[in-house]
Amino acid sequence: MPAPSASNPWSSWHPVTGDWHPSPATLAETLDGGQSFRWVRQAHQAARPSLGEAGLPSGWADIWTGTWAGCVAQLRLDRNRLEWRAPTSLQAAVATGLPRYLALDIDWPALTDALPWRTDAHLAQCVAAFPGLRLLRQPFGETLLGFLCSATKQIVQIKQMCALLAERHGSALSDCRSGFMPRSDGAESRDKPALPLINRLPTWAQLATIPEKDLRSCLLGFRAKYIHATAEYIARRPGWLEETEHLPYAAAKARLLELPGVGEKVADCVLLFGAGKLEAFPVDTWILKSLERRYGLTGWKPAQIAHFGRTHFGPLAGLAQQFLFSWERGYGREV
C-alpha cells in the first residue's frame, strides 16, 4: 500500500477484525438500507481486477465512506474480506470506534438463527436474501437526529438533509476529502469534484444554538420546528440523552415520545439502531406492506402491527424487522 502523504491522507487498508464476511449486497444493505444516513458509496479503481462487481466497469469496486461521532472511515470488500481505512489523523479513533459501530462483539449469526425462520417461510426467505445482515450500533444522539429528519421522506432525501446539516452546522472531522468519483464511462477523473470536506453531524448542544430558519435552509421543512424544539428540550435537561439510552426499552420509549416530533416509529427506530433495543419493532410503510402482503394483516393499524411483530418474532423482533424491511424494498415489487 502507498504510504500516507499530503496528497494521500488516508491510512493503509486494514482487515476488519471478527468473523463478518458480508456479500456486496449485504454490506450495502447494512450501511445504506435505512439504519444510518451517513454512508456514501463510490466506485474506485480496484487494486485487483477480480474486485469488480456486477454493474461496475471491469476493475472497479465499491468504497463506502461513512462518519459517526468523531470518526471517519472507508470500507471495502477485497476478495470477500472486509477492510477499513481512515484519515491518518483519525486512525486511532477509528481503530477503537469501528468495531463498536459495526457491533463486531455480537454473535449476529446466532441471533439470526434464533429467529423463528424455521416456522415462518417468509422470514426464512428474507434471511436467505441478506446473509450476514446486522444492526449497526450508532451514537444515540445522532440516531435521534437522523430519524427526526425521516418523517415522510425516503432514504436518499434523509441523507441529503443530514449531509447539509453536517456541512453547514457540524464540526470538521478531517481536512482530507474522500476521493474522486468515476466518470460515467468508467474512467477515473480528477476533474470531477471530490466529496465535500468531512464534517460530523451537529451535536444537540450545537443544534440548540441554531435558529429554526437556518435549519429550514437544510431542506428540513416542517421537521426544522421539531428538531429546534427537541434541541431546546434536551438543552434544558443535561444528561437526558445518556440516561434515556440506558433505560429499559419501555421506559426509554416513553421518554422519547415526550420529544416534539417523535412518534412510535421514530422512537422505535432510535431505540433499535441507536440503543440496541432488539425488542423494538419499527413500523413504517414498508413494514405495513410486508405484514399485509406476506402475513395477511390487511387493515391493521401500526400499533397492532407493532404488537404482532413483538409477539410473533419475540425478543429479537427488531432484527427480524430489518430482514423484512430489506427484502420488501429489494424484492417485494417482484412478488
pLDDT tens per residue, range 130-180: 999 999 999 999 999 999 999 888 999 999 999 999 999 999 986 655 443
Q: Which three cell numbers stand for residue 192?
A: 470531477
The predicted-structure confidence for 204-221, as pLDDT tens digits, reads as follows 999 999 999 999 999 999
Are 6 and 34 members of one domain? yes
Are 6 and 64 members of one domain? yes
Q: Ramachandran region of residue 327, left (φ > 0), alpha (ψ -120 to 50) or beta?
A: alpha
Asked whether residue 287 is assigned to any structural domain, the reply reads: yes
CATH number of residue 260's parent domain? 1.10.340.30
pTM of the model: 0.88
Asked whether residue 294 is assigned to any structural domain, the reply reads: yes
The predicted-structure confidence for 55-101, as pLDDT tens digits, reads as follows 444 455 799 999 999 999 999 998 889 999 999 999 999 999 999 99
Q: How many domains are there within the chain?
A: 3
The predicted-structure confidence for 2-45, as pLDDT tens digits, reads as follows 444 445 589 999 999 988 999 999 999 999 999 999 999 986 65
275, 296, 325 - which closes a domain: 275
pLDDT for position 45: 52
Asked whether residue 188 is assigned to any structural domain, the reply reads: no
Strand partners, 65: 40, 74
Q: What mean pLDDT is reported for the chain?
A: 88
Asked whether residue 187 is assigned to any structural domain, the reply reads: no
3-state secondary structure labels for all residues of the chain: CCCCCCCCCECCCEECCCCCCCCHHHHHHHHHCCCCCCEEEEEEECCCHHHCCCCCCCCEEEEEEEEECCEEEEEEEECCEEEEECEHHHHHHHHHHHHHHCCCCCCHHHHHHCCHHHCCHHHHHHHHHCCCCCCCCCCHHHHHHHHHCCCCCCHHHHHHHHHHHHHHHCCEEECCCCCCCECCCCCECCCCCCCCCEECCCCHHHHCCCCHHHHHHHHHCCHHHHHHHHHHHHHCCCCHHHHHHCCCHHHHHHHHCCCCCCCHHHHHHHHHHHHCCCCCCCCCHHHHHHHHHHHCCCCCCHHHHHHHHHHHHHHHHHHHHHHHHHHHHHHHHHC
Asked whether residue 301 is assigned to any structural domain, the reply reads: yes
Are 83 and 203 members of one domain? no
Full strand arrangement of the beta sheet holding 39-45: 14-15, 81-85, 71-78, 60-68, 39-45
Q: What's the domain range around 129?
A: 106-134+278-335
The predicted-structure confidence for 275-299, as pLDDT tens digits, reads as follows 999 999 999 999 999 999 999 999 9
Q: How many residues does the chain have?
A: 335
Amino acid at 114: A
The predicted-structure confidence for 237-270, as pLDDT tens digits, reads as follows 999 999 999 999 999 999 999 999 999 999 999 9
Residues of the chain with pLDDT > 90, as a percent, come to 80
105, 123, 156 - which closes a domain: 105
Which of 6, 46, 15, 43 minimizes the C-alpha distance to 28? 43
256, 275, 294 - which closes a domain: 275
Asked whether residue 182 is assigned to any structural domain, the reply reads: no
Question: CA-based angle 325:331:335, to the nearest 5?
Answer: 115
Asked whether residue 55 is assigned to any structural domain, the reply reads: yes
Amino acid at 12: S
Asked whether residue 183 is assigned to any structural domain, the reply reads: no
